[in-house]
Amino acid sequence: MLVETNDPDEKEEYTRIINNNNELLLKLISDILDLSKIESGSVKLKYEDFDLSGYFDELAVSMKQRITNPDVNLVIVNRYDKCLVCLDKNRVAQILTNYMINAIKYTVKGTIEMGYDATKSGIYFYVKDSGIGILDEKKNRVFHRFEKLDEFAQGTGLGLSICKAIAEAMGGKVGFESTYGKGSLFWASLPCETKSEVS
């Protein structure tokens, strides 16, 4: 295709499409490998003690950079001055990032809220949006492999499956609530000891 046109704009567009498809293919391969390793138990979780409150603020900065739509507002809910936990930081970030990517993808206008709470049994993370929501007939397949809420949306369809696999590998669980036309709330509950301080 690149050889058949002399129009520089067309060449640039073809190059962009090819690069995007290459990136999507690499992401798909990476996601499949990651999911397979997690489900087989061959991935060793790297638990460490850290202050979740400070780490959450760092994650919030990177999440804000992902939102390029001026009609979407990100709300961060971090009500703890300090929240000491023992978790795999990278896997926590992976769950929240996948939830955020979905929320951004399906919210064209409104609010996305990301937060967490310390519970008696561990940490409850959530991402809530005012996006398109999920049809009732699709709800039982949300965490299935290669399931996409919108067939035309870009992505591998493995993000939510990976969230579920990570949470279960850590002894936790995931879930969601959604009303079509109003939005969704995705959550992950991870067991761990916590020591929190609220201002």
Rounded to the nearest 10 degrees, the angle between the axes of helix 89-106 and helix 52-66 is 30
Tell me the C-alpha distance between 110 and 68, whole Å: 13
pLDDT, tens digit (0-9, with 9 covering 90-100), for 144-153: 766 666 554 5
Whether the pTM exceeds 0.85: the reply is no
Assign 150 to helix, strand or coil: coil
Residue 189: count other Cβ atoms within 10 Å of its Cβ: 19
Lowest mean pLDDT among 4-8, 49-53, 171-175: 4-8
* pLDDT of res. 1: 46
* 196 closest CA partner among 119, 114, 140, 127: 119
Question: How do strand 110-118 and strand 72-77 relate by DSSP bridges?
Answer: parallel
Tell the residue number behind the tokens 């959604």, with chain if given.
Answer: 178
Residues 6+ apart with CB under 8 A from 160: 98, 102, 142, 143, 147, 174, 186
E-assigned strands of the chain?
A: 48-51, 72-77, 80-87, 110-118, 122-129, 173-179, 183-191, 195-198
Query: Looking at residues 64-84, what average pLDDT do you find?
Result: 93
Domain 46-198 top-level CATH class:
alpha beta
**Mean pLDDT taken over the chain:** 85
Tell me the C-alpha distance between 143 and 85, whole Å: 26
Query: Looking at residues 131-146, what average pLDDT do you find?
Result: 86
